[in-house]
């Protein structure tokens, strides 16, 4: 089959660009027009072969693998379901359901990404907007602790740096771009103004900025390696903007202070709304981690680190989050869906996955799969199977099933496991 | 097949007020007795019990982007309100923003079977439908916010009514929505410029149109399209002391047209003494009484925890400034906005006391129960689980007096409420909580128990304390299946999503696509939602 | 006793692209087995571009190839992946989030001279 398919959505990063045009030959995508280099790699480089599931490395029939997986999970005292950021809403819904029936702990990649952002939002709120508002209205953009030039390659072109919008007809010229980071990056090179702050001082810098916005007297000359007079200038620009938008990332969530750093930024943005309009958008990493937050929240009330062990949902960042439970060896079976914790977790947590029976649902052979007891090579969402993914600004994007592949979807496998355990 | 026999039936639509009747059900519908093999049917003995159609909530915020953001940011509201899973039912958390499964269970346990989702931004309608798929039992539909829509406002500016009409028709079908919702017309767009509107003839920045024009256009479009419901309006100045005046003006503007004014309590204030607003319920009720083509729901305040969540961006920011509570805001490109702020309503707070009075007075001063409906604008003025309490307040003036005595003295001083003796009868309660909302929604098979109606039936024990009566129905039947008994869900069934898809000129889609490509940041082809994306979609006809 | 520096970990384009070629691929291994350093630090510590150094944190130690980077003095950067995972501790301070950025690290040159690829 040779075909051209339009308005395809790429699910690699939180931009979920849905204007991709793919050219297909047989069951391969050979071209992905408009996709960035990473998206192109994902779309053209996928493994299209229909593979059998394996149990202890041996290929088996789907039924047997489902039975083995169900048996592992039923017998476990403390099962963990983890991941979910690179699969569709449909699969995420089943995963939470399964956790409920099992009395399992369920956590998503948020806990090692924008979990702290969720904690800040719970503490102080969040003034946000959709990406179209950024393109059309924002005349001041602040990138704080994030590097979209590398992590979200089309962000600049589609939303935040150069595109022409209703109130930004001159594109780049109608925007002032400020970057705050601990080191120069490709993103800071694109900025009008770059503030290089000392590692681990974002909280103090943000705190001072809040004071300056409120016209308070600040009694230091520098903070975090930045001059207060320059920060005063930034505070003024923020207050005088027509519509400002801050994007934030791992620089805040992963540094000392974590959710407290994010809370300072969110409070700053809220306070700026006394003077003008200002919004903040977290740079969600994976294509559907925003969706995972949404689904887990609507079914359990909480966005990550949820335990159903007592028969009802309990929220416990630090207690039920995956890194903590694994490193304390409080998990005796794991179901990993659409994520690769063995590749990205600190070693002392990742290695526990090798000690316990682990089940993996993933379209590609992940590091986690390489030491898993049961592996289901499932469909690539948005390529082999339809679904929905939520963009970083929580706009839901429908995904096409371009190919009718022979691979089952994550949701189909999860449905079967649910049936087997109930 | 099912028979609900010997109960005292309240079916206002069909003129039945407490007569002992049998109700027969087959294939999810009410049928005539001849159609049922009475030997085979399951029999529910309702003798000595009260039988009503299942409750219909015309305005509640239960699913979607704003609701879920509110849920996510209020973990403190969930704790202590947990419900355990059972062999067959899911666990969840309650409080003012219950999780999806618990929302379905709690409403069903109260005898409600149809709940309309009050506000959905078109761009994120897909989220509403996906979340609804996890709400069991209840039938629902989404109101689509249009009062700050760029395409619409451009059409108004350019005098292109037919184009606007075709756009709305297309949009309702694309979003699988049920009705036109209008929230602070023009004000939410102005909030994106750090402003608002305060008069019906204020200008919407960048468009040169007015709130009045937006209301008139959407009322005209609603009629042209023959939509089953009417324009559902959250007016300008919500919460302000000018609200009663501009509410009455808005009604005058739409005189003779069909329209629904929602959570009217929040929009019925006037200047009081000093900083304390006054209830202008009397004046607003008079206006409602004089506009027979209009319906309202009250949005009654309940003392206790609440979560304010609306598409009214500037209002929510004001709530944040006033209460200093944490604040969510979301501006949605080309369409709308909104926000969420937690609230706590206290009797010791004079303003909250006035708000409570205002709602009560509206209920008691609006003459026609077919035009005033029971809501708490959940969760804005209170959680829906308090509907039984509101019912008791309406039916029992002694209890009402008791509560009145407990509110703030400054609110009580000179209040109208003590003079209002009226008590709602069971028949009238059946109207304001079922028959009336169903009729206003254009749901021909809901809110009544005539032949052909959906078999959504609630059976209550007639006890003296009406709050207890309505809090714990003996039986709740949804689509002919017993889903709750003695106030507890016993079986889960999926509900249906009701939507409209009025016809439009196909040519207009070209125009819309062109506009869309400029205005939005997703592909036009990815905007429309297919009916197969909905749980059990049911299209309701127009015209 | 080696030099005490501050470590941050994170994404790079090469790491992301290598990831999609497969985490066993040589591109991925190369992209994630390096440490970027400030040129003045390198000069001060007499470390050459391309040489091997050992990084040690409270969590573990790993040998990496040095690459000159645009970093302020005192800061080193390792791309997220298997090497970073050895260096990041599991303490999340009750948040679920380990400390991926701002880690105290000891850096010791191992052998001088460039490493073959």
How many angstroms separate the CA atoms of A88 and A389, rounded? Answer: 6
Range 327-386 of A in CB contact (< 8 A) with B = none
Share of chain B above pLDDT 70, in %: 100
The domain segmentation of chain C, as residue ranges, is: 3-109
How many angstroms separate the CA atoms of B208 and B205, rounded? Answer: 6
Q: Which of A233, A253, A282 lies at the terminal end of a domain, its last residue?
A: A282
In order of B81, B191, B319, B323, B338, the CA distances from B341 in angstroms are 20, 16, 7, 9, 10
Interchain proximity B331–A130, CB inside 8 Å:
yes
Full domain range(s) for residue A60? 52-112+287-379+407-421
Q: How confident is the model at residue C116 (pLDDT cuts 50, 70, 90)?
A: very low
Q: Is A326 found in the same domain as A228?
A: no
Q: Which of C71, C98, C100 is closest, CB to CB, to A183?
A: C71
User: Which residue's entry shows tokens 């925007």?
Assistant: A175
Interchain proximity A324–C85, CB inside 8 Å:
no
How many angstroms separate the CA atoms of C74 and C53, rounded? Answer: 15
Q: Is A329 found in the same domain as A356?
A: yes
Crossing angle for the helix pair B161-175 and B508-519, to the nearest 10 degrees: 70
Q: Which of A258, A282, A306 lies at the terminal end of a domain, its last residue?
A: A282
**Partner C contacted by A39 (CB < 8 A):** no
ipTM of the complex as predicted: 0.97
> For residue B333, what is the DSSP state?
T
Closest CA to B187 of B315, B96, B303, B95: B315
Beta bridge partners of B345: B304
Q: Are B328 and A126 in contact (CB under 8 A)?
A: yes
How is residue A90 written in tokens?
A: 């449909």
Q: Is A173 found in the same domain as A140?
A: yes
CATH of the domain at A91: 3.40.50.740
Q: Assign residue B27 a region (left: φ > 0; alpha: ψ between -120 and 50; beta: otherwise).
A: left
* pLDDT tens-digit map of B324-378: 999 999 999 999 999 999 999 999 999 999 999 999 999 999 999 999 999 999 9
* pLDDT tens-digit map of B455-510: 999 999 999 999 999 999 999 999 999 999 999 999 999 999 999 999 999 999 99
The domain segmentation of chain B, as residue ranges, is: 55-421
Range 332-351 of B in CB contact (< 8 A) with A = 332-334, 340-341
The three-state secondary structure class of B98 is: coil
pLDDT at site B135: 98
Q: Assign residue B324 a region (left: φ > 0; alpha: ψ between -120 and 50; beta: otherwise).
A: left
Q: How confident is the model at residue C111 (pLDDT cuts 50, 70, 90)?
A: low
pTM above 0.90, yes or no: yes
Q: Is A164 found in the same domain as A76?
A: no
How many angstroms separate the CA atoms of B63 and B74, rounded? Answer: 15
pLDDT at site B276: 85
Question: β-strand B488-489 against B481-485: which pairing, if any?
Answer: antiparallel
**Partner B contacted by A138 (CB < 8 A):** no
Q: Which of C9, C20, C98 is closest, CB to CB, to A38?
A: C20
Q: Is A204 found in the same domain as A130?
A: yes
Q: Are A243 and C78 in contact (CB under 8 A)?
A: no
Distance from CA of A337 to the nearest CA of B (A): 20
pLDDT at site A1: 63
Closest CA to A166 of A240, A243, A245: A243
How many angstroms separate the CA atoms of B135 and B129, rounded? Answer: 10
Q: Is A178 found in the same domain as A91?
A: no
A and B: touch, per 3+ CB pairs < 8 A? yes
Closest CA to B428 of B357, B363, B362: B363
How many angstroms separate the CA atoms of B32 and B455, rounded? Answer: 12
How many angstroms separate the CA atoms of C65 and B321, rounded? Answer: 54
How many angstroms separate the CA atoms of B474 and B414, rounded? Answer: 41
**Partner B contacted by A127 (CB < 8 A):** yes
Q: Which of B68, B93, B133 is closest, CB to CB, to A294?
A: B68
Give the distance between the most distant pair of CA atoms in chain B.
70
Q: How confident is the model at residue C19 (pLDDT cuts 50, 70, 90)?
A: confident
Closest CA to A96 of A292, A263, A251: A292
The three-state secondary structure class of B164 is: helix
Q: Are B354 and B416 in contact (CB under 8 A)?
A: no
**HEC sequence for chain A:** CEEEEEEECCCCECCCCCCEEEEEECCEEEEEECCCHHHHHHHHCCCCCCCCCEECCEECCHHHHHHHHHHHHHHCCCEEEEECCCCCHHHHHHHHHHHHHHCCEEEEHHHHCCHHHHHHHHHHEEEEECHHHHHHHCCEEEEECCCHHHHCCCHHHHHHCCCCECCECCHHHHCEEEEEECCCCHHHHCCCEEEECCCCCHHHHHHHHHHHHCCCCCCCCEECCEEHHHHHHHHHHHHHCCEEEEEECHHHHCCCCCHHHHHHHHHHHHHHCCCCEEEEEECCCECCHHHHHHHHHHHHCCCCCEECCCCCCEECCCCCCHHHHHHCCCCCEEEEECCCHHHHCCHHHHHHHHHCCEEEEECCCCHHHHCCCEEEECCCECCCECEEEECCCCCEEEECCCCCCCCCCHHHHHHHHHHHHC
Number of domains in chain A: 2
> From first to last of its 422 residues, what are the pLDDT tens digits of chain A?
689 999 999 999 999 999 999 999 999 999 999 999 999 999 999 988 999 999 999 999 999 999 999 999 999 999 999 999 999 999 999 999 999 999 999 999 999 999 999 999 999 999 999 999 999 999 999 999 999 999 999 999 999 999 999 999 999 999 999 999 999 999 999 999 999 999 999 999 999 999 999 999 999 999 999 999 999 999 999 999 999 999 999 999 999 999 999 999 999 999 999 999 999 999 999 999 999 999 999 999 999 999 999 999 999 999 999 999 999 999 999 999 999 999 999 999 999 999 999 999 999 999 999 999 999 999 999 999 999 999 999 999 999 999 987 899 999 999 999 999 99
Range 165-194 of B in CB contact (< 8 A) with A = 191-194
- CA torsion through residues C67, C73, C74, C79, sign: negative
Q: Is A310 found in the same domain as A176?
A: no
Q: Are B368 and B289 in contact (CB under 8 A)?
A: yes
- Within a domain: residue A25? no
CATH of the domain at A251: 3.40.228.10
Interchain proximity C59–A348, CB inside 8 Å:
yes
> For residue B533, what is the DSSP state?
G
Give the distance between the most distant pair of CA atoms in chain C.
43
A388, A396, A411: best to mutate for the B interface, most B CBs within 10 A: A396
Count of Cβ atoms closer than 10 Å to residue A325 Cβ: 25
Count of Cβ atoms closer than 10 Å to residue C1 Cβ: 5
pLDDT at site C112: 52
**Partner B contacted by A136 (CB < 8 A):** yes
| Residues in chain B with pLDDT values less than 70 | none
**Partner A contacted by C95 (CB < 8 A):** yes
Count of Cβ atoms closer than 10 Å to residue A63 Cβ: 11
Q: Are B494 and B101 in contact (CB under 8 A)?
A: no
Interchain proximity A312–B91, CB inside 8 Å:
yes
How is residue B67 written in tokens?
A: 């609701």
How many angstroms separate the CA atoms of B478 and B54, rounded? Answer: 8
How many angstroms separate the CA atoms of A90 and A95, rounded? Answer: 9
**Chains in touch with A (≥3 Cβ pairs < 8 A):** B, C
The three-state secondary structure class of B312 is: coil
Q: Which of A282, A297, A332 lies at the terminal end of a domain, its last residue?
A: A282
For chain B, how many residues are written?
543
Q: Tell me how many residue pairs between chain A and chain B have CB atoms under 8 A apart.
A: 171
A and C: touch, per 3+ CB pairs < 8 A? yes
How many angstroms separate the CA atoms of B480 and B23, rounded? Answer: 11
Count of Cβ atoms closer than 10 Å to residue B203 Cβ: 15
Q: Are C82 and A101 in contact (CB under 8 A)?
A: no
pLDDT at position C114 over 60: no
Distance from CA of C18 to the nearest CA of A (A): 10
How many angstroms separate the CA atoms of A369 and A390, rounded? Answer: 26
Phi, psi of A261 (to 5 degrees): -60, -50
* pLDDT tens-digit map of B44-81: 999 999 999 999 999 999 999 999 999 999 999 999 99
**Partner A contacted by B129 (CB < 8 A):** no
**HEC sequence for B401-462:** HHHHHHCCHHHHCCCCHHHCCCCCCHHHHHHHHHHHHHHHHCCCCCCCCCCCCECCEEEEEC
Q: Is A245 found in the same domain as A188?
A: yes
- Within a domain: residue A191? yes
What's the CATH number for C3-109?
Answer: 2.40.40.20
**Partner A contacted by B520 (CB < 8 A):** yes
- Within a domain: residue A27? no
pLDDT at position C117 over 70: no
Count of Cβ atoms closer than 10 Å to residue A58 Cβ: 9
For residue B475, give every residue at least 6 positions away whose Cβ sits within 8 Å of its Cβ, in sequence order, or none.
Answer: B4, B44, B46, B457, B458, B459, B482, B484, B485
- What's the alpha-carbon Rg for chain C, to the nearest Å? 14
pLDDT at site A118: 98
How is residue B509 written in tokens?
A: 């889609």
DSSP for B13-58, written as a single string: GGTEEEEEEEEEEETTEEE-GGGS-TTTSEEEE-TTEEEEEPEEEE
How many angstroms separate the CA atoms of A205 and A201, rounded? Answer: 6
**HEC sequence for B487-515:** CEECCCCECCEEECCCCCCCCHHHHHHHH
Q: Are B169 and B503 in contact (CB under 8 A)?
A: yes
In the CATH hierarchy, which top-level class contains the domain B55-421?
A: alpha beta
- CA torsion through residues B196, B263, B58, B487, sign: positive
Q: Is A340 found in the same domain as A230?
A: no
Q: Which residues of B touch A125 (CB under 8 A)?
A: 73, 320, 326-329, 340-341
């Amino acid at each position: 089959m040779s075909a051209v398919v339009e308005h395809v959505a790429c699910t690699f990063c939180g931009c979920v660009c849905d204007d991709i045009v793919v050219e297909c030959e047989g069951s391969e995508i050979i071209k992905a027009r408009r996709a960035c280099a990473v998206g192109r790699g994902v779309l053209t480089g996928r493994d299209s072969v229909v593979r059998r599931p394996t149990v202890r490395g041996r290929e088996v029939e789907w039924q047997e693998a489902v039975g083995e997986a169900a048996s592992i999970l039923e017998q476990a005292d403390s099962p963990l379901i983890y991941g979910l950021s690179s699969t569709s809403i449909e699969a995420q819904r089943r995963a939470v359901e399964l956790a409920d029936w099992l009395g399992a702990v369920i956590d998503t990649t948020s806990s090692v990404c924008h979990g702290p952002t969720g904690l800040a939002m719970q503490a102080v709120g969040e003034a946000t907007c959709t990406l179209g508002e950024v393109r059309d209205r924002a005349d001041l953009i602040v990138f704080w602790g994030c590097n979209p030039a590398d992590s979200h390659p089309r962000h600049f072109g589609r939303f935040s740096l150069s595109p022409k919008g209703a109130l930004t007809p001159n594109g780049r010229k109608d925007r002032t771009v400020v970057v705050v980071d601990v080191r120069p990056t490709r993103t800071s090179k694109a900025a009008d103004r770059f503030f290089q702050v000392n590692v681990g001082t974002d909280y103090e810098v943000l705190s001072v900025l809040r004071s300056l916005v409120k016209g308070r007297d600040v009694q230091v000359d520098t903070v975090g390696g930045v001059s207060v007079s320059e920060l005063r200038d930034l505070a003024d620009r923020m207050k005088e903007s027509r519509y400002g938008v801050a994007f934030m990332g791992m620089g805040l969530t992963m540094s000392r202070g974590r959710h407290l750093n994010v809370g300072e930024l969110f409070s700053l943005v809220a306070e700026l709304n006394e003077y003008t309009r200002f919004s903040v958008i977290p740079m969600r990493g994976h294509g559907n981690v925003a969706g995972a937050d949404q689904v887990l929240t609507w079914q359990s009330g909480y966005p990550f680190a949820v335990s159903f062990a007592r028969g009802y949902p309990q929220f416990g960042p630090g207690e039920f989050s995956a890194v903590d439970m694994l490193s304390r060896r409080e998990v005796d079976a794991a179901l990993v869906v659409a994520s690769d914790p063995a590749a990205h977790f600190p070693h002392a947590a990742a290695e526990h996955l090798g000690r316990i029976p682990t089940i993996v649902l993933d379209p590609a052979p992940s590091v986690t799969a390489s030491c898993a007891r049961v592996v289901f090579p499932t469909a690539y969402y948005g390529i082999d199977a339809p679904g929905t993914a939520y963009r970083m600004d929580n706009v839901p994007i429908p995904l096409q099933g371009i190919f009718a592949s022979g691979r089952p979807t994550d949701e189909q496998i999860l449905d079967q496991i649910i049936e087997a355990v109930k | 097949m099912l028979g609900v026999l010997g109960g005292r039936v309240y079916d206002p639509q069909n003129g039945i007020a407490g007569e002992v009747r049998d109700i027969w059900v087959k294939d999810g519908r009410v049928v005539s007795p001849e159609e049922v093999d009475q030997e085979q049917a399951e029999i529910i003995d309702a003798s000595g019990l009260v039988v009503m159609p299942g409750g219909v909530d015309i305005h509640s915020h239960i699913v979607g982007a704003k609701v879920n953001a509110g849920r996510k940011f209020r973990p403190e509201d969930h704790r202590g309100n947990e419900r355990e899973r059972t062999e067959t039912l899911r666990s969840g958390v309650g409080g003012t923003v219950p999780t999806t499964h618990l929302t379905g269970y709690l409403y069903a346990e109260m005898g409600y079977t149809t709940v309309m989702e009050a506000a959905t931004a078109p761009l994120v309608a897909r989220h509403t439908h996906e979340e609804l798929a996890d709400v069991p039992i209840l039938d629902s539909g989404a109101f689509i916010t249009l009062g700050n829509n760029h395409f619409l406002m451009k059409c108004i500016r350019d005098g292109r009514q037919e184009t606007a009409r075709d756009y709305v028709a297309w949009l309702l079908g694309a979003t699988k929505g049920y009705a036109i919702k209008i929230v602070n017309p023009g004000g939410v767009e102005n909030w994106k410029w750090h402003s608002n509107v305060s008069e019906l003839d204020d200008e919407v920045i960048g468009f040169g149109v007015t709130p009045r024009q937006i209301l008139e256009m959407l009322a005209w479009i609603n009629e042209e399209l023959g939509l089953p419901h009417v324009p559902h309006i959250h007016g300008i100045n919500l919460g302000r002391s000018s609200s009663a005046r501009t509410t009455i003006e808005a009604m005058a503007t739409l005189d003779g047209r069909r329209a629904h004014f929602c959570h009217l309590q929040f929009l019925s204030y006037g200047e009081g003494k000093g900083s304390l607003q006054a209830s202008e319920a009397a004046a607003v009720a008079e206006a409602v009484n004089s506009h027979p083509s209009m319906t309202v729901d009250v949005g009654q305040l309940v003392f206790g925890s609440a979560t304010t969540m609306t598409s009214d961006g500037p209002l929510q920011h004001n709530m944040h400034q006033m209460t200093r509570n944490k604040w969510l805001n979301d501006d949605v490109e080309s369409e709308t906005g909104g926000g969420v702020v937690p609230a706590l309503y206290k009797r010791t707070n004079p303003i909250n006391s006035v708000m409570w009075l205002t709602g009560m007075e509206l209920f008691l001063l609006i003459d026609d129960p077919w035009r005033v409906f029971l809501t708490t604008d959940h969760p804005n003025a209170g959680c829906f689980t308090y509907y039984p309490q509101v019912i008791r307040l309406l039916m029992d003036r002694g209890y009402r007096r008791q509560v009145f005595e407990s509110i703030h003295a400054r609110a009580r001083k000179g209040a109208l409420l003590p003079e209002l003796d009226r008590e709602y009868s069971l028949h009238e309660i059946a109207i304001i909580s079922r028959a009336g909302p169903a009729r206003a929604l254009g749901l021909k098979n809901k809110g009544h128990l005539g032949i052909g109606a959906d078999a959504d039936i609630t059976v209550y024990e007639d006890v003296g304390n009406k709050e207890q009566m309505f809090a714990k129905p003996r039986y709740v039947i949804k689509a002919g299946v017993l889903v709750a008994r003695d106030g507890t869900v016993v079986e889960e069934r999926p509900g249906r999503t009701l939507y409209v898809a009025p016809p439009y000129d196909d040519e207009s889609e070209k125009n819309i696509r062109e506009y869309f490509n400029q205005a939005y940041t997703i592909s036009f082809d990815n905007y429309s939602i297919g009916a197969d994306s909905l749980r059990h979609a049911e299209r309701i006809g127009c015209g | 006793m080696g030099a005490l520096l501050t470590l941050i970990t994170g994404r790079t384009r090469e790491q992301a692209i290598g990831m999609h070629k497969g985490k066993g691929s040589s591109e991925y291994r190369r992209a994630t087995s390096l440490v970027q350093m400030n040129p003045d630090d390198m000069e001060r510590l007499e470390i050459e571009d391309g040489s091997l150094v050992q990084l040690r944190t409270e969590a573990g130690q790993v040998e990496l190839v040095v690459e000159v980077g645009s970093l302020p003095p005192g800061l080193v950067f390792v791309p997220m992946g298997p090497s970073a995972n050895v260096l990041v501790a599991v303490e999340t301070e009750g948040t679920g989030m380990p400390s991926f950025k701002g880690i105290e690290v000891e850096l010791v040159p191992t052998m001088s001279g460039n490493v073959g690829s």
